[in-house]
Amino acid sequence: MAKRLGYLGPPGTFSEEAALRYDADAVRLPFPSFRAVADAVQTGMADEGVVAIENSLEGSVNDTLDLLIHEATLSIRWELVVPIEHCLLAKPDTQAPDVQVIYSHTQALGQCRGFLSRTFPKAQLVASLSTVAAVKDALASKTTAAAIAPLRAASLYPVAVLARGVQDSASNVTRFVILAHQDHAPTGADKTSLCFGFADDRPGILYKAIGVFALRGINLAKVESRPTKEALGEYIFLVDIIGHRQDANIREALDELRGIASWLKVFGSYPRYKG
């Protein structure tokens, strides 16, 4: 039986492209948000789910981080990186100078900020649920509108391509992760994602927490923070480390970290993307 794979729809999004790259034989199930994708996996509607977690221009996808930190009980099982080319799409015969409204997902609007400010300084920018939902929004608009979306959307909807490659960097890529009920078994080339926090803010506490990895020669691939959403100035720290949670040195580091941090959540271990 084919795997049921949830993704941010509708068909034609970069999330669908990530789903195709991950498992072309899976039954793809579109959902309106990353939270809905996670809910589908948690409830058994889907076997796994694809969510964006980081972009090379805009940084982390906060909706996904908050989902992992505060809500989801799922694990990260896989990661992959997808090149992102944004296109400006509109109804056929639309002239670029006539465009008054431009729709897209918030991440896409941010990734094309320079192009939009230079080329459409007076246009209204409106957030859509996804880059392909933006095409539907543009088609339904009563004013002259366009959408920033993947090129594939032009083959799925009655729109014309006004411009290609409108992202602010030619090296624009997005990192996606696969959410599942279990993470991946060790492969020898893995990554582990986790977060932790402190009940008390004391001098050197973060240094001490990060030090558990340095003392064991564990490389940190990423470190960032997110607000706890409970009080101003309180933060949750997110770390990606090289290695699997079952590796002896990482098991020791996590055990020591549990004694330093007030709480610790391991999102999972998974094969490291190599390109």
Catalytic residues, by residue number, are 174, 176
Q: Which amino acid is at 244?
A: H
Place of tokens 């330093």: 260
Residue of 32, 28, 25, 26 whose CA lies nearest to 6: 28
Neighbours of 273 (CB within 10 A): 14
